[in-house]
Amino acid sequence: AIFADITGQSPNGGPLYVKLKRTIESAVDRGMIKAGDALPPEREIASMADVSRVTVRKAVQELVREGLLIQRHGSGTFVASRVKPVEQYLTQLTSFTEDMARRGMIVRSVWLDRGIYAPSPEEMVSLGLTSGENVARISRLRVANETPMAIERAALAASVLSRPEDVTTSLYAVLAANGNRPVRAIQRISAAILKENDARILDVQPGSASLNIERISYLESGKVIEFTRSIYRADAYEFIAELRLSG
Ligand code: 16G
């Protein structure tokens, strides 16, 4: 059993809930319960481990706080997908597909939305659209080695991406094929707290931190090609820049 009776364990091993926490942690470490699996109901854990439900609740609550478990209202408690943060340099203009492929990771995207729309005022300004020009929007969940890493919402002039469904894998590959590979970008990164729905998509506890990134990319000609807003899991990324003394 995953949660054997823990009451008999060494009396100086600390409070019961701490022992139960360790038992759950080791069950996850040894792969007895995997990322995405539901934890058995509180009542069952209590009876398996021979502890009170209060003890179970306390252990589970701490593991939720520490990020090992995720609690979803109405559907229960699950094992979170844990990641070793990816180190991302901020000095090169690369695509998600290129970044992950370089690390030998398998890339997959899940469509959240795609289509041709009338632009928002912000898209109109950022992309320099003229009145009557439409926008192509592609919103994807980006997944690397089966870990959801980021939600990316890209907007481009419909004239450069008339068929958003052509982006089967890499947006930058499609742009490059049409001679529209961006060569420069301005990126802004800010911290935020994930909303319930985005947290669910990214498979993390609601209220977890995210790094929101806005990228505006330019062609050699100076024309804006892409306006993208991305929500990156804060536990999945570390951004690195090399700084030099100027003079
Ligand atoms: C990166 C870019 C994003 C771009 C995407 C293209 C950031 C914050 N964002 O994820 O702006 O649209 O790459 O990736 O780096 P793809 O070619 O794999 O579709």
pLDDT in tens, 113-150: 999 999 999 999 999 999 999 999 999 999 999 899 99
Query: What are residue 86's phi and psi, to 5 degrees?
Result: -85, 135
Rounded distance from Cα 96 to ligand 1 centre (Å): 5
* pLDDT of res. 10: 59
Rounded distance from Cα 23 to ligand 1 centre (Å): 40
Rounded distance from Cα 200 to ligand 1 centre (Å): 21
Mutate to test the pocket of ligand 1, among 152, 181, 211, 239 (most ligand atoms within 8 A of CB): 152
Pick 60 or 84 by higher pLDDT. 60
Rounded distance from Cα 181 to ligand 1 centre (Å): 12
Cβ(210) to ligand 1 under 6 A? no
* Nearest atom (ligand 1) to Cα of 217: 11
Cβ(151) to ligand 1 under 6 A? no
- Architecture label for domain 86-240: 3-Layer(aba) Sandwich (3.40)
- Architecture label for domain 16-79: Orthogonal Bundle (1.10)
What residue spans define the domains of the chain? Answer: 16-79, 86-240
- pLDDT confidence tier of residue 207, bands split at 50, 70 and 90: confident
Rounded distance from Cα 152 to ligand 1 centre (Å): 7
pLDDT of 13 higher than 90: no
pLDDT of 229 higher than 80: yes
What is the arithmetic mean of pLDDT over 27-31? Answer: 88
- ipTM associated with this complex: 0.98
pTM over 0.80: yes
* Nearest atom (ligand 1) to Cα of 107: 18
